[in-house]
Amino acid sequence: MFTRRAEQKPQLITAGNPKSLTLMFTFHKEYSEARSCAKTWMNDHLQHRVYAGFPNSSQQSDLGLHWAREEQAVFEAEKLFHTFQTPVKTTPEHVLLSGAGQGGSLAIRLALTGQLFSPSTFFVWEPALTNLPQWETLLKHADKDVQGWLIASHMSASTTQHEAFIDMCEYFDVDCRYIIRQSPPSQLPTDFHALINEALTF
């Protein structure tokens, strides 16, 4: 259990090509922050291919920033996505909602509900998929044509939850790829950016 601290103002960091009609909106994992997330999720190719946004949560504990309070996280995500999308003068061709840990869970939720953009694709690394009955409800009423990628470590402590989520995706006809990589949960796999590029053309 962590101690709640005074909240920060939610912030947004952008990267990449602002003229691109391919958008990537990535939520940092718990106890991380947007700037370090941007450094690990972007590479030279993506800098040219996508316009990317990295929101910082306002929720804070002694351990760092997090997305634990879901309603507040969704509210901030909607507000920051609007700020992020405003410079894009035409309708995006593709929106990838992505993240890790709690940020991955938030990305999936927003893709399934279509609250930021419809249809969108989710791309997540080691998402925190607690409360499986809630995910069942979201998948049952998922936004039409949503697609997803769930990338996980072969050493994941959440394999049971990930597999249950994938089973529910299949049951409710939600197209989601499940890929397991030989890397620890704390380290992105070596082909991570190649997988993002593949997801952008999924």
pLDDT (0 to 100) of residue 1:
42
In a domain, 4, yes or no: no
Q: Residue 140 pLDDT more than 50?
A: yes
pLDDT tens string 38-64? 999 999 999 999 999 999 999 998 889
* pLDDT, position 144: 81
Average pLDDT, the chain: 93
At what angle are helices 102-113 and 70-85 packed, to 10 degrees? 70
Domain membership flag for residue 6:
no
Tell me the CATH number at 44.
3.40.50.1820
pLDDT tens by residue, 106-128:
999 999 999 999 999 999 999 99
* 5 occurs within a structural domain: no
Give the C-alpha separation, 57 to 12, whole Å.
Answer: 9
Q: Which domain, by its residues, includes 111?
A: 11-199
Has residue 6 got a pLDDT over 60? Answer: no
* Band (74; pLDDT cuts 50, 70, 90): very high
Cα→Cα distances 61→64, 128, 129, 187, Å = 5, 18, 21, 23
Cβ contact 28:54 at 8 Å? yes
Q: Looking at the domain assignment, is residue 127 inside a domain? A: yes
Rounded CA separation 112/88 (Å): 23
Q: 168-190: per-residue pLDDT in tens?
A: 999 999 999 999 999 999 999 99
Asked, for residue 75, whether it belongs to a domain, the answer is: yes
| Total structural domains within the chain | 1
What is the per-residue pLDDT for 7?
55
pTM confidence score: 0.93
DSSP the chain: ---B-PPPPPEEEEEE-TT-SEEEEEEPPTT--HHHHHHHH--HHHHHH-EEEEEEPS-EETTEE---SHHHHHHHHHHHHHHHHTT--S--SEEEEEEEEHHHHHHHHHHHHTSSSSS-EEEEEEE----HHHHHHHHHTPPTT-EEEEEEETT-TTHHHHHHHHHHHHHTT-EEEEEEESS-TTS--TTHHHHHHHHTT-
For residue 62, what pLDDT is reported? Answer: 87
Confidence of residue 88 (pLDDT cuts 50, 70, 90): confident
Asked if residue 2 is part of any domain, the answer here is: no
Q: Identify whether 3 is part of a domain.
A: no
For residue 65, tell me if it sits in a domain. yes
Residue 23 in this model has a pLDDT that exceeds 70? yes
* Average pLDDT of the residues in 142-165: 96
